[in-house]
Amino acid sequence: MGRYIVQRLILTIPVLIGIMLVCFFLTRLSGDPTDLMLPTNATEEARAAFRSVHGLDRPLWEQFVTFFANGLMGDFGSSLRFNQPAMSLVWERLGATTELAAATMAMALLIGVPAGVAAAYRRNTPADITIRGITLMGQALPGFYLGIISIIVFAVWLRWLPSGGRGSWLNLILPAATLAFNLVALIARVTRSCMLDVLRQDYIRTARAKGARERTVLWIHALRNGFIPVLTVIGLQVGLLMGGVVVTETVFSWPGVGRLAIQAIYARDFPVVQAVVFTFAIIFVFVNLVVDLLYAVLDPRISYN
C-alpha cells in the first residue's frame, strides 16, 4: 500500500507541471491586465511602470521560468488587484469553499444513495418512475438557473432563507442545495443501476434463503458490493464540483475561492487565477487518490501490494 501511494504521488508531479504550463499560457491569452487595472487615460509611462513592477515587461519564457520556479514553492506572486500574496488570498477563502463542498457532498450522499437503493428495490413501480423522473430533471437543470430560481422562491417570495452571504448555517442551505441537486440525481441513477445488477447475484439469493432481513440484504450485502462505481463517480465529480462552486458562489455571494476566481478572471489578475487553478488541481488529485484507496476498504479482493 505504501509503495502504491508513493508511486501515485510521483505520477502527480508531471500532471501538476502540465497544469501549471497550460494555466500560465491560457491566462496570458486573455490580454494585458494594465487595460483593466489602470485608467483609460493612463500615460504610457504609468503603463510601463506597472508592467515593470509586476514583471510583465519581461520575455514570455522568462516569465514562465520565474512562475514555474516560484510555483513549485507555492509562491504565485502578489495579486495585481489586492496587492497581497495570491496564495494567501486563496487560503483565506478556502475554508468557506471547503464548508460549502462538504455540505454539498453530505447532502448528495444522504439523499442520492437512499433514493437509488429505493428505486432499485421497487423497480418499475410508481416510486421508481418518480425517482427516475426527478433525477432526470436534476441532471438537466443548469446550476445557475436553479440558484436564481431558489433565491426568488425561498428568499424573496417566502423569505425563509437568506439570499446570500456567509453567516449562520441558514446561509449554507441554498448554495449547498443548488450544488447538490445535480449531484444527487447522478448518484441516485448510478446507485440504482449498480443495485439492480447486484440484486440479481447468487450471493444475494443465498443471503435471503438463509433468512437474512431484507434491510441487511440491501444495506450490507448489496450496497457494499455495488458502491464502488458510485465511489468512482464521486471522485470524478470533485472536479465538476469545483467548477460548480465558481458559479454557485457568485450567484449566492459566497465568499469562497470560486468567487475569488471569477473576480480575478474579470480583472485579469494572473497570479490569483494561477493560484486558484493550482489549488483545485491538488485537491482533485488528492481526492482521487483517496477514492482509489477506499476501493480496497470496500472490496478486500482489491489489493495494491
Per-position DSSP letters for 249-300, written without gaps between them: HHHTT--SHHHHHHHHHHTT-HHHHHHHHHHHHHHHHHHHHHHHHHHHHH-T
| Count of Cβ atoms closer than 10 Å to residue 102 Cβ | 12
What is the band of 236 on the pLDDT scale with cuts at 50, 70, 90?
Answer: confident
15 pLDDT more than 70: yes
How far is Cα 120 from Cα 114, in angstroms, rounded to an integer?
10
Q: pLDDT tens digits for 126-140?
A: 999 999 999 888 888
Q: pLDDT tens digits for 140-194?
A: 888 778 888 989 999 889 888 988 888 788 888 999 999 888 899 999 999 999 9
Q: What pTM does this model have?
A: 0.82
Residue with cell 425561498: 154
Residue among 88, 78, 72, 82 at smallest CA distance from 53: 78
Q: What is the percent of the chain with per-residue pLDDT over 70, rounded to a whole number?
A: 93
What is the band of 305 on the pLDDT scale with cuts at 50, 70, 90?
Answer: low
Q: pLDDT tens digits for 84-123?
A: 889 999 999 988 988 898 899 999 999 999 999 999 988 8
Task: Report the mean per-residue pLDDT for the chain.
Answer: 84
- DSSP lists the bridge partners of residue 85 as 78
What is the band of 286 on the pLDDT scale with cuts at 50, 70, 90?
Answer: confident
Domains of the chain: residue spans and CATH: 90-298 (1.10.3720.10)
Instruction: Determine contact, residues 230/198, Cβ cutoff 8 Å.
Output: no
Residue among 116, 101, 139, 128 at smallest CA distance from 187: 116
